[in-house]
């Protein structure tokens, strides 16, 4: 009961922004940021427990002390003149990020996509997919200015195909947001006010 009222008041507070930005909206917004920050701290703490504290305490995995100490260097950015120390954990995070990106991208975003595009040209849909992918790739060719008519036509077709995709994504995004809005209105009218059967 209290939970439903809290959720309803919060929902109304945020929805009031649709009319005009107002103090009620800003209050609820701050509460949302507060609880969101708390959630990330708790998640971070639990992740530290699983990945660092438990292995150190239970299996004597003292090597986990290194990332703990290096991670604490992130807080050096709050001390004037010591900001450079916080760049060491950043360089590790960026290194891991780059490694994982290159590892994941080559497989999932390049090889798998090319493999999925190599389909027999036996149907109109397959022809559209193959020519579509090629023409979109032509569109992304920026290395030098091209005056070839065939190349430019293909690049233009690529742009049109991307417009279809952007339109489809936009349509899906609108419908997704609308369904969320319907969910919130249903909550207010049904769960909170009990007006829906």
Partner 1 sequence: MKSQGLMIAITFVFALIIIIDAFFAIDFISAASTEIQNWGTIIASLALALAAVNLIRIHSRRIRLRRGEWYNSVALLTVMFVQTAIGLVNRSTGEVYNFGFNNIMTPLGATMYALLAFWIASAAYRAFTARSIDSAILLVAATVVMLGNAPIGESIWSAFPSIKTWIMDVPNMAAQRGIMIGGGIGAIALGLRILMGIERGHLGGSDE
Residues 58-117 touching partner 1, rule: CB under 8 A, are 63-64, 66-68, 70-72, 74-75, 77-78, 83-84, 87-103, 105-110, 113-114, 116-117
Regarding 153 and contact with partner 1 (CB under 8 A), the answer is: no
Length of the chain: 197
The residue from 21, 43, 146, 152 that contacts partner 1 (CB under 8 A) is: 43
| Residue in the block written with tokens 């022809």 | 127
Tally Cβ neighbours within 10 Å of residue 28. 19
Regarding 24 and contact with partner 1 (CB under 8 A), the answer is: no
Which residues 163-192 are close enough to bind partner 1 by CB under 8 A? 163-175, 177-178, 180-181, 183-184, 187
Which residues 128-147 are close enough to bind partner 1 by CB under 8 A? 128-137, 139-140
- Tell the smallest beta-carbon distance from residue 126 to partner 1 (Å): 9
Regarding 152 and contact with partner 1 (CB under 8 A), the answer is: no
- Tell the smallest beta-carbon distance from residue 185 to partner 1 (Å): 9
Q: What is the CA radius of gyration of the chain?
A: 26
């Amino acid at each position: 009961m209290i939970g439903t009222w809290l959720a309803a008041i919060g929902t109304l507070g945020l929805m009031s922004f649709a009319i005009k930005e107002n103090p009620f909206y800003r209050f609820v917004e701050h509460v949302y940021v507060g609880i969101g920050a708390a959630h990330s701290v708790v998640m971070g703490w639990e992740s530290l427990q699983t990945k660092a504290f438990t292995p150190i305490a239970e299996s004597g995995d003292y090597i986990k002390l290194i990332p703990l100490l290096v991670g604490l260097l992130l807080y050096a950015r709050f001390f004037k003149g010591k900001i450079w120390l916080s760049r060491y954990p950043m360089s590790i995070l960026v290194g891991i990020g780059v490694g994982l990106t290159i590892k994941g991208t080559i497989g999932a975003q390049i090889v798998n996509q090319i493999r999925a595009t190599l389909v027999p040209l036996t149907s109109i849909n397959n022809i559209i997919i193959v020519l579509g992918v090629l023409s979109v790739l032509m569109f992304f060719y920026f290395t030098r200015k091209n005056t070839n008519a065939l190349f430019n036509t293909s690049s233009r077709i690529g742009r049109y195909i991307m417009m279809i995709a952007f339109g489809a994504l936009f349509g899906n995004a609108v419908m997704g947001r609308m369904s969320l809005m319907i969910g919130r209105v249903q909550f207010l009218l049904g769960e909170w006010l009990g007006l829906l059967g």
